[in-house]
Amino acid sequence: MNTQETDVLVLGLGGMGSAALYHLARAGVDAVGIEQFPVGHDRGSSHGHSRAFRTIYEDPVYTRLAEAAIPFWRELESDSGETLLFQKGMVTWANEGSPKLQERVAVMDDVGSPYELLTPSDVRSRFPALRPPDGTVACFVPRSGFLDAGLCVRTHVAEARKRGATLFDETKVSGIDLDGDRPEVITPETRFRCDRLIVSAGPWAAHVLSDLNLPLRVTRQQKFYFRPGNSADFGPDRLPVYTDHETEFYGFPNYGGGIKVADDGLGGETTADTVDRTLDGTTRDRLRQWLDEIMPGNDAEFVSGTTCMYTMTPDRDFLIGPHPGNPNVLVAAGFSGHGFKFSTLVGKILTDLATTGHTDYPIERFRVDRFETLSSEGTDP
Ligand SMILES: Cc1cc2nc3c(=O)[nH]c(=O)nc-3n(C[C@H](O)[C@H](O)[C@H](O)COP(=O)(O)OP(=O)(O)OC[C@H]3O[C@@H](n4cnc5c(N)ncnc54)[C@H](O)[C@@H]3O)c2cc1C
């Protein structure tokens, strides 16, 4: 078996790992990225045309982190020439008096992030396709929008490679050895030795770090694409991202492949290797019916759907930071169905931690050892 040395090794190049590889390479660090599938594959959590870039949150930490991510997305766009972040706005509605919406509006006030409260008829006149139900109140957030998710992953990796990062795709890590001074990562042909190891394995994280007993739950989620009849009112310039707090359904404008709609409610528990990718007609029909209610006359045809996975922590906060048993291993996992918007910032934070052991970003609540069930022993995948 070959051996290879590197300063930092990134295990898993989905949303988070691709961003880490880019920021490491940008900082001039000798970095290797390993991905079990081709870069940009559709078997993890980061594929497809869109992820909501939501700056409205129930907690100011997340609103501040989303704001902090914006300059890094713009930097990646300027490095690559790609357009990745579409700040076309997001409209969120809930029944009048909804504590959930009031809580989020209070956070926007606290952080000083702009928003407008709108009646359903205000929404209709501003976004002709959209009809939130009567009796609801809507909050329009202009700094929100969406990211072209698949392109973000591919761009992070391409820009990392331009800056000297080494990529091994279609290469599965079969073991991690933490017994020596430096972490070692084993693939079928090579044993890699590194100063720091970043584990960003998404829904595979609990398996890769099996001895840590991470309290992660993987759920099967589905998204569906419908192509609307009158395309003019459904494009990103006339339709923002929209979320309905009463149903937990949300959707995107027609940005490549049709209007995408999904249910943020948790799907059935699964594992990354056994997830059922057959589309569920009942969920598709419920989303179709919702679409007809909020966009009457859409004349939309079902185009396609895909399966994706959420990797949930018990509190829906992320896991970012050192492995409890080995400070040379950094964990980035448990993004709980809302991590993508932060991915480039997470890559920057992981680079800070890998190179200096510290970051100025507020990640204390994401500590990996905050759950009692964790084991502090080393790991074997
Ligand atoms: C349907 C759906 C909708 C979502 N909507 C939003 C949204 O609107 N906004 C938002 O911010 N977030 C959203 N999310 C969440 C977001 O997409 C995820 O939080 C994020 O993509 C997680 O990225 P990741 O890097 O942790 O995982 P992944 O992207 O899955 O990356 C993990 C990578 O590790 C690789 N890997 C694993 N094990 C190994 C191994 N042994 N060897 C080599 N490689 C390995 C995998 O192949 C994979 O590429 C959504 C998620 C889903 C499923």
What per-residue confidence (pLDDT) applies to 65? 98
What is the residue type of 353?
A: L
**Domain assignment present for 266:** yes
What per-residue confidence (pLDDT) applies to 232? 86
Q: Which of 262, 365, 356, 377 is nearest to 317 (CA)?
A: 365
Q: What is the pTM of this model?
A: 0.96
**Domain assignment present for 128:** yes
Indicate which CATH number applies to the domain containing 337: 3.50.50.60
Last residue of one domain, picked from the residues 289, 308, 327: 308
- Quick one: what percent of the chain has pLDDT higher than 90? 94
What is the number of other CB atoms lying within 10 angstroms of the CB of residue 282?
A: 7
Q: Domain range for residue 207?
A: 2-46+150-216+315-370
**Residues in the chain with pLDDT values less than 70:** 373-381
**Domain assignment present for 100:** yes
Q: Look at ligand 1, atom 29, and give the residue with the nearest C-alpha.
A: 14
Cβ of 267 below 6 Å from ligand 1? no
Residues 198 and 300 in one domain: no
Last residue of one domain, picked from the residues 274, 308, 342: 308
Last residue of one domain, picked from the residues 278, 308, 338: 308
What per-residue confidence (pLDDT) applies to 130? 97
How far, in Å, is the centroid of ligand 1 from the Cα of 14? 6
How far, in Å, is the centroid of ligand 1 from the Cα of 343? 10
Residues 267 and 198 in one domain: no
Closest atom of ligand 1 to CA, residue 336: 19
Cβ of 316 below 6 Å from ligand 1? no
Residues 40 and 158 in one domain: yes
Cβ of 319 below 6 Å from ligand 1? no
Residues 99 and 122 in one domain: yes
Residues 108 and 236 in one domain: yes
Choosing from 39, 41, 45, 177 the residue with most ligand 1 atoms within 8 A of its CB, the one to mutate for a pocket test is: 45
**Domain assignment present for 122:** yes
**Domain assignment present for 262:** yes
Cβ of 152 below 6 Å from ligand 1? no
Residues 162 and 196 in one domain: yes
Q: Look at ligand 1, atom 15, and give the residue with the nearest C-alpha.
A: 337
CA–CA separation, 14 and 249 (whole Å): 25
Cα-trace Rg, the chain: 21
For residue 325, give every residue at least 6 positions away whose Cβ sits within 8 Å of its Cβ, in sequence order, or none. 178, 212, 375, 376, 377, 378, 379
Cβ of 200 below 6 Å from ligand 1? yes
Cβ of 168 below 6 Å from ligand 1? no
First to last CA, the chain: 19
Residue with tokens 């713009």: 74
Cβ of 250 below 6 Å from ligand 1? no
Closest atom of ligand 1 to CA, residue 332: 26
**Domain assignment present for 77:** no
How far, in Å, is the centroid of ligand 1 from the Cα of 32? 19
Residues 133 and 11 in one domain: no
How far, in Å, is the centroid of ligand 1 from the Cα of 337? 9
Q: Look at ligand 1, atom 2, and give the residue with the nearest C-alpha.
A: 308
Indicate which CATH number applies to the domain containing 226: 3.30.9.10
How far, in Å, is the centroid of ligand 1 from the Cα of 206? 13
Number of domains forming the structure of the chain = 2
Residues 224 and 253 in one domain: yes
What per-residue confidence (pLDDT) applies to 377? 44
Cβ atoms of 154 and 168 closer than 8 Å: no
Residues 279 and 269 in one domain: yes
**Domain assignment present for 51:** no
**Domain assignment present for 52:** no
Closest atom of ligand 1 to CA, residue 15: 25
Choosing from 340, 349, 366 the residue with most ligand 1 atoms within 8 A of its CB, the one to mutate for a pocket test is: 340
Residues 154 and 279 in one domain: no
Residues 108 and 7 in one domain: no
Instruction: Extract long-range pairs of 56-59: CB within 8 Å, 24+ residues apart.
Output: 56/90, 56/92, 56/104, 56/107, 56/108, 56/113, 56/115, 56/139, 56/141, 56/144, 57/104, 57/107, 58/100, 58/103, 58/104, 58/107, 59/107
Residues 159 and 202 in one domain: yes
Residue with tokens 């050895």: 177
